[in-house]
Structure 1
Amino acid sequence: MPAPAQPTARPHVRVAPRTLLWALAGLCLATLVPPADLWATIHHLRVPDTDDAMRLAEVRDLINGQGWYDNVQHRFLAPAGVPSHWSRLVDAPIAGLILILTPLAGRGLAEGLAAALWPLLLFGLYCGVLYRGMRANFGRHAAILALIAATQTLGVTLQFAAGRVDHHNVQIVAIVGLAVCMIRGGVRSGLIGGASAALSLAVGLEGLPSIAAAALFVVGDWCLRGRPARPLLAGFGLGLGVTAPALFAAQTAPGLWTATRCDALSPPWLWLTLGGLLLAVCATLAGERLASIRARTAVAGLCGAILLAGFALAFPICLGGPFPDMPPLVRDHWLLTVNEMAALPKFIARGQWEALVFYPVVVLATAAATWLAWRGPEQRAWAVMAVFLWPGLILGLFQFRGLYIASGFVPLVAGAILARALSVEVDVDSEGGSASRNRSGAVLDGNGHSAKPLREAAGPRNSLPRWGVALLGGGLISTVWMAPAVLAAALVPAARTAPDPAGASACRSEAALAALKTLPPGTVLAPILIGPAILLHTRHRIVAAPYHRAIPGLTAAIEGLGGTQANLDRVLTAFRVDYLVACPARPAEDLQAETAFATRLTRGTAHSDRLVPLSLPGPLKVWRVTPAPLRAGGDPAG
């Protein structure tokens, strides 16, 4: 009698950790942009911020024939207009996307598609830089975890959201790329890193503190280590010193090459970049003649002293920052009210608990990178991260925008820490491949075979228990901090004194401005935050928008909308205003004890013979302005 057949054992299916991580990363990337936001951007040109609206207005002007060097917004404080301090280097690729998509989708839809695609393309570039840098130093698992962390870092995702065509995302990509080059070292990396720093400066000066810290690190590294650090110094100095003037010339009219602009790449900042080039050349030519730390430090100190003294003597106006001529009225009633210029204590005092989502992760990342630069493995990588995190954190305590670039480094720290917390200790070889340890501690290569141990990717080693590392890794995910932020808002709702951002967003939407678009083109006096949206969605001219180069318009909006009837009449006459627009959800700040006349006008408790109310749908209140009555002497009253 034949023996009964034995049941066939089911094969054991094992999914590699890397496959699971890639699946999670894919899910996070696929859900990064809410479909509703994507739809609103593509079909209604909804953008997150006033700067995005102004950028699209500039791009549209460029496509319509405005000159490359003509960066004046001619519908802003017409007829003279307001020169922009932004870079055409950002306008150009967005304009190129629109021109490519227009034959396929039509002009209107092409603008929306470009506004949605541009930040997503930049985020893809950021992820590529992030992955390569993490894989080379911490292994593939840590690199994938860094990508996952990037999708959960709100300080990053907000800068790459649909419609975010402002320049901060470009700066994040450039400066993270600079950091990766500094970690790697060598002449080639120095050249790429210096060029990336120059691109950041050409796009905007917000990254200047980070670049200054990077330059100090490169020079200090050379002073301490000498010959091994010389190639990076030479490459960085050459890349920055050559690329910055080239980009400046590419985007600046020749007639303005000698003009001092404290808020944009111009001679003051070119002086510093060329000084860095000179130091790099001197260090290279001197070679082994600067064999001691003392000699190298003396040369670096002398060059630094010459650079700073020359800057102070030749460009003293820029010692006061990018806004040297801003009057107190504008500073107090506009600049200091903008969220990106607010300090952390102000967020707390106004009950803006959403700040808890941004600050803790940067604090933890800075502390972790600093500690591991001293005690952990891969000390150079951690030191470079700390060099970029500290300036952002310090500046961010006083101005929220300081966190923008620093947030771009949080995923690097989070990826390495999470890899250690999950016991995915990755060993990196010279080819960028990886190996992992099994439970017994043996080192396995990517195919599960025995491999020679090289170096562990993520510390701290023997300094924190696994649960402590796990807590640290979780604390580096900013979405985790949404829970305490929501809880604080629910427990102390009365503490919130900041204006509701939803009201302002509704007033500058395409739907709100659709009715205004039907009126004959004219000059509009509107709240400062609505100005860029009026330029983008209508053919009207504006008096005010949130830009420091337009001090007369800012002053007019503050005094006219926040002052007395006489103040408003004076502004309407001086700027030949055709339409007065008010947003009931965001009235202007009162300049005197009594409620501003424009606010009372909006509420229906005041009246002016010069203002004819227009019955238009939507949240905006609109009046047509009639000429001021003449006095006996023939001058307009008021």
Structure 2
Amino acid sequence: MPHAAAASPARIDPRTFLWLLVALAVATMNAPAEIWETIRHLRVPDTDDAMRLAEVRDLLGGQGWYDNVQLRFQPPDGVPSHWSRLVDAPIAGLILALTPLAGRALATGLTAALWPALLFGLYGFVLYRGARGLFGPRAGVLALLAATQTFGVTVQFTPGRVDHHAVQILAILGLGLCMIRGGLRAGLVGGGLAALSLAVGLEGLPYVALGALYLAGDWILRGRPALPAFLGFGLGLGLAAPALFAAQTAPGLWGTTYCDALSPPWLWLAAGGLGTALAAAGPGGRLGSAWGRLALAALCGAGLLGGFALAFPLCLGGPFPGMTPLVRDHWLLTVNEMSSVPTFIARGQWEALVFYPVLAIASLCAAWSAWRGPERRAWSVFALFLWPGLVLGYVQFRGIYVASGLVPLVAGAVIDRALRLAADRAVPARRRWAAAGLSASLVSTVWMAPVVLGVTLAPDVRTAPDPSGALACSGPAGVAALAALPPGTVLAPIFMGPSILLRTPHAVVAAPYHRAIPGLTAAIEGLGGTEADLRRSVAAFGVDYLVACPSRPGDDIRGAPAFATRLARGETSSDWLAPVAVPGVLKVWRVTR
């Protein structure tokens, strides 16, 4: 009797293996301790997250939908927020849904942990569908896997990250995929997503403008076949933008110009886009040459931009009109998200540089593939959004936020191609290794090695403040000590303002927001100047408590150690400041007038 053939060893399906890798990567994106700290102690990664939760809490506490004034910020008048209620609403709804099950405090922590996870799930779904439709199922799974390793993406979906950047990443990713698909329906959806991005925050404005120019240029070159996408985009943007504006803006402010939020200047541009698209569908539909279509588009564009310059000259200088050099130098330019690559290098902040290589390589890959490869429309849209993010990110770190959301699309396609080449032994080994190296370079975690090397070999070049010092002062444990004091107005370091608003009943003079120039000025001058400077700031805002963070003193703006810094060190005292003993690292004084 012949021997039975040996059973072949069981093999796992490659696609199943990739999905298991994705599941493992998603499960390990965030440390359990971080998730628990967010749920239990409302740990948030950034000052903006704390301010968002403070706004949501006020909304749940009865503040009106259209009333976005933070009354405990520079009291008694308060400071109007330029953030969108469209982001506040789902967060507030989730807290309300969880409150009967867990109580308000725990429901807030659960929401802070769940909201970014839910958004990442939606981002992953859109990313997978987009990559699968363009490059195949395996590329879709690989794009998901790459997303879990792309720091520019994961930092926006970490527990406690309830700011609006994740929503903008989703909106612009959706816009890009709609532009690639083309057609009237995709154009309508893309225009609506562009409007949503503008309503949530103006960081997406460059991408919306580029998307409009791309679709207009496509119509100029190809004529009628490209018209439906252009018309749909114009209709979606032109109709959705005013609707979203009205949904979140008090009727009494509909005529007020704000350069930092969706308001008449940007509605003018949206309406101009709608008008241009309608002109393309009307008289433009009879133009048989690209030159004629170019002339029509140029005429519409000149009228649009000329009208903007004449009607809204204030916004030509950017979103921060009225900012003084003092505030710009001692606050704005010191914030990480406003810092440039040379600034990071000069400060020795090597960890920030891990975000840039993958964005640069993805931009190069997209541009090359748009020039030479298949799916040229898709790659041209990728390049259209990646390159501005890289350029803007070089000048200001926050410029990379939206563009990073497209990096996994490029990585998924490139890694998928590298796997195909690796399986084809007819391909020269040199080419297979080059493809493998390119694939690895699109994974952010690979770039941790040179960052660690830089930190290890050149530790002395770091001049940036240690973030642990700020966290010790502004985190839950640090600020909790202030909550036990009778309510009053607090003059504290700027970065502590949102945490104090979130975790205590106190009012604050300063927080890191450009609409609050008087408070920023008072904090910079008061905490960084002489005793007379401090008394002036205290008197101007009726301050009850002075708070100092010993590890993060204010800038010495007078060329000598600031009075508040010497006070925190115990090197001086004053008869109008009575020390208040509180547990923790903070130094606190009660103003005795």
Common fold by TM > 0.5: yes
How do 1:311-326 residues align onto structure 2 when only pairs under 5 Å count? 311-326=308-323
Partner of 1:159: 156
1:38-89 deviations in whole A, cap 9, x for unaligned? 0000000010000000000000000010000000000001110000000000
Distance in 2, matches of 1:110 and 1:405, equals 29
Q: Rate the CA distance shift 1:615–1:279 in 2: closer, same or farther, 3 A.
A: same
Q: CA deviation at 1:511?
A: 1.1
Are 1:251 and 2:248 matched, yes or no?
yes
User: What code does the residue aligned with 2:548 have?
Assistant: A
Distance in 2, matches of 1:469 and 1:257, equals 54
Are 1:551 and 2:517 matched, yes or no?
yes
Partner of 2:393: 396
User: Quick check: 2:139–2:416 contact (8 Å CA) kept in 1?
Assistant: yes
Partner of 1:633: none
User: Quick check: 1:356–1:482 contact (8 Å CA) kept in 2?
Assistant: no
How do 1:2-17 residues align onto structure 2 when only pairs under 5 Å count? 3=1, 6-17=3-14
Are 1:241 and 2:238 matched, yes or no?
yes
Q: Rate the CA distance shift 1:464–1:136 in 2: closer, same or farther, 3 A.
A: farther
Q: How many residues align?
A: 593
Structure 2 unmatched ranges of 5 or more: none
Q: CA deviation at 1:327?
A: 0.7
Moved more, 295-304 or 463-472: 463-472
Partner of 1:302: 299
User: What code does the residue aligned with 1:357 have?
Assistant: V
Say which of 59, 67, 88 aligns to 1:70.
67
Partner of 1:376: 373
Say which of 256, 264, 272 aligns to 1:275.
272
Are 1:481 and 2:478 matched, yes or no?
no
1:519-560 deviations in whole A, cap 9, x for unaligned? 100000000000000000000010000000001100000000
Distance in 1, matches of 2:220 and 2:454, equals 48
Partner of 1:614: 580
Determine helix, strand or coil for the equivalent of 1:465. Answer: helix
User: Quick check: 1:51–1:532 contact (8 Å CA) kept in 2?
Assistant: yes
Moved more, 540-549 or 23-32: 23-32
How do 1:25-174 residues align onto structure 2 when only pairs under 5 Å count? 25-174=22-171
User: Quick check: 2:421–2:432 contact (8 Å CA) kept in 1?
Assistant: no
User: Quick check: 2:235–2:274 contact (8 Å CA) kept in 1?
Assistant: yes
Q: CA deviation at 1:355?
A: 2.0
Partner of 2:410: 413
Say which of 561, 568, 587 aligns to 2:534.
568
Distance in 1, matches of 2:540 and 2:261, equals 30
Are 1:185 and 2:182 matched, yes or no?
yes
User: What code does the residue aligned with 1:342 have?
Assistant: S
Partner of 1:500: 466
User: Quick check: 1:45–1:163 contact (8 Å CA) kept in 2?
Assistant: yes
1:431-469 deviations in whole A, cap 9, x for unaligned? xxxxxxx8599xxxxxxxxxxxxxxxxxxx999822112
Structure 1 unmatched ranges of 5 or more: 426-437, 442-460, 628-638
Distance in 1, matches of 2:287 and 2:408, equals 39
Distance in 2, matches of 1:195 and 1:19, equals 36
Partner of 2:546: 580
Partner of 2:198: 201
Determine helix, strand or coil for the equivalent of 1:617. Answer: coil
User: What code does the residue aligned with 1:491 have?
Assistant: L
How do 1:588-627 residues align onto structure 2 when only pairs under 5 Å count? 588-627=554-593
How do 1:343-354 residues align onto structure 2 when only pairs under 5 Å count? 343-354=340-351
User: What code does the residue aligned with 1:401 have?
Assistant: R
Say which of 330, 334, 343 aligns to 2:331.
334
User: What code does the residue aligned with 2:328 have?
Assistant: R
User: What code does the residue aligned with 1:105 have?
Assistant: A
User: What code does the residue aligned with 1:601 have?
Assistant: L
Partner of 1:434: none
Q: Rate the CA distance shift 1:463–1:179 in 2: closer, same or farther, 3 A.
A: farther
User: Quick check: 1:141–1:424 contact (8 Å CA) kept in 2?
Assistant: no
Q: CA deviation at 1:13?
A: 2.4
Q: Rate the CA distance shift 1:468–1:8 in 2: closer, same or farther, 3 A.
A: closer
1:129-160 deviations in whole A, cap 9, x for unaligned? 10111011100100100000000001100000
Distance in 2, matches of 1:463 and 1:514, equals 61
Distance in 1, matches of 2:70 and 2:407, equals 36
User: Quick check: 1:202–1:265 contact (8 Å CA) kept in 2?
Assistant: yes
User: Quick check: 2:284–2:293 contact (8 Å CA) kept in 1?
Assistant: no
Q: Which structure's CA Rg is the greater one? A: 1
Distance in 2, matches of 1:229 and 1:463, equals 42
User: Quick check: 1:149–1:477 contact (8 Å CA) kept in 2?
Assistant: yes
Q: CA deviation at 1:14?
A: 2.9
Are 1:532 and 2:498 matched, yes or no?
yes
User: What code does the residue aligned with 1:565 have?
Assistant: E
Determine helix, strand or coil for the equivalent of 2:554. Answer: coil
Determine helix, strand or coil for the equivalent of 1:423. Answer: helix
Partner of 1:387: 384
Distance in 1, matches of 2:461 and 2:190, equals 45
What RMSD over aligned residues (CA atoms) do the two structures have, in Å? 1.5
User: Quick check: 2:74–2:509 contact (8 Å CA) kept in 1?
Assistant: yes
Are 1:515 and 2:515 matched, yes or no?
no
Q: Rate the CA distance shift 1:384–1:462 in 2: closer, same or farther, 3 A.
A: farther
Distance in 1, matches of 2:99 and 2:405, equals 33
Q: CA deviation at 1:316?
A: 0.4
Distance in 2, matches of 1:620 and 1:182, equals 52
Determine helix, strand or coil for the equivalent of 1:622. Answer: strand
Determine helix, strand or coil for the equivalent of 1:581. Answer: strand
Distance in 2, matches of 1:560 and 1:393, equals 37
User: What code does the residue aligned with 1:555 have?
Assistant: T
User: What code does the residue aligned with 1:384 have?
Assistant: V
Distance in 2, matches of 1:287 and 1:321, equals 33
Determine helix, strand or coil for the equivalent of 1:358. Answer: helix
Q: CA deviation at 1:211?
A: 1.0
Determine helix, strand or coil for the equivalent of 2:547. Answer: strand
Distance in 2, matches of 1:546 and 1:413, equals 35
1:388-415 deviations in whole A, cap 9, x for unaligned? 0111111111111000011111101100
Distance in 1, matches of 2:198 and 2:428, equals 41
Partner of 1:232: 229
Q: CA deviation at 1:288?
A: 4.0
> What is the TM-score of this pair, normalised by structure 2?
0.98
Q: CA deviation at 1:515?
A: 1.5
Distance in 2, matches of 1:267 and 1:22, equals 47
How do 1:205-224 residues align onto structure 2 when only pairs under 5 Å count? 205-224=202-221
Distance in 2, matches of 1:494 and 1:72, equals 44
Distance in 2, matches of 1:480 and 1:90, equals 34
